[in-house]
Structure 1
């Protein structure tokens, strides 16, 4: 098999992380998610805890607030430094091996490559709520709040750094609704396409 990279962007609660992990395991290729936090921290000089909390999510809920968050004399914010470190790590990983990369704007970062399959996993709210309730042991109202907040912060980060709209089908090779077709079918479709 020639080198293939799969990027998976996902709505919170849609199971995208789980689907990506299963695809990587079944294909026998590397899986990158939170395990690249250490590499990003090393590149940026920031703590792994800070990277975990801020590398994929905007620190603020609105685009306007995000654009003007703590910039230094060069015009760079801490978030810009994190994004550049994240970008460098993702480019290095893609050069090295076949893999699945979860989130972190990897679809945009690797868009000029022809060996990348970009996937967006989304789902219906009732199924996402039930999944979050079960995973985090929270009430339905808390699950809805978590989903809305996380997706808004992902959207803001993505839109700010890519000049594209998060979740828009044009940005991805595949857009799959895990609530309607199920996780195994999502995995199967991704593996057939790769």
Structure 2
């Protein structure tokens, strides 16, 4: 993580105000929630107060295996997040859609946004709905990190037609089909 000096100074003093952001890019639109009382406009998206938001521990790991994490959004009738509203997510195209968890650092005195740091990027795997006696209705998104991309196959072919489809006018593979093979002899001449 790379923090600006203004955030580092406040962290050293123990005075920085950190709030969590969650951005979900579903098929019908991009939605943002902030763990705060007021909305935040950042990066072209307005993050709405999301009631009680919980993110599971974000374990770090080496290697290429995907790690799992969960995002919980509890009902908050004061913010308009009733169980009926939370159930409407089933109408969204959410499977394998990106979700990003951020920490937003604010100045404790002025409330100015100083820095936003992405903590975890992943994909929504499945959604669960739970009724909890203490917290009420909860929507739980089971997510997997972007390490899933390492297991996906690439259907590209290294041909002119494939390259033209991705980048019209790029002639990188123009001679690929006509190039022959050349035998190179090493060592003594035969």
Shorter-normalised TM range: under 0.3
Q: Which has the higher helix share?
A: 1
Greater relative contact order (Cα < 8 A, sep 6+): 1
Q: Normalising by the residue count of structure 2, what TM-score does the alignment of the two structures yield?
A: 0.22
Q: Normalising by the residue count of structure 1, what TM-score does the alignment of the two structures yield?
A: 0.21
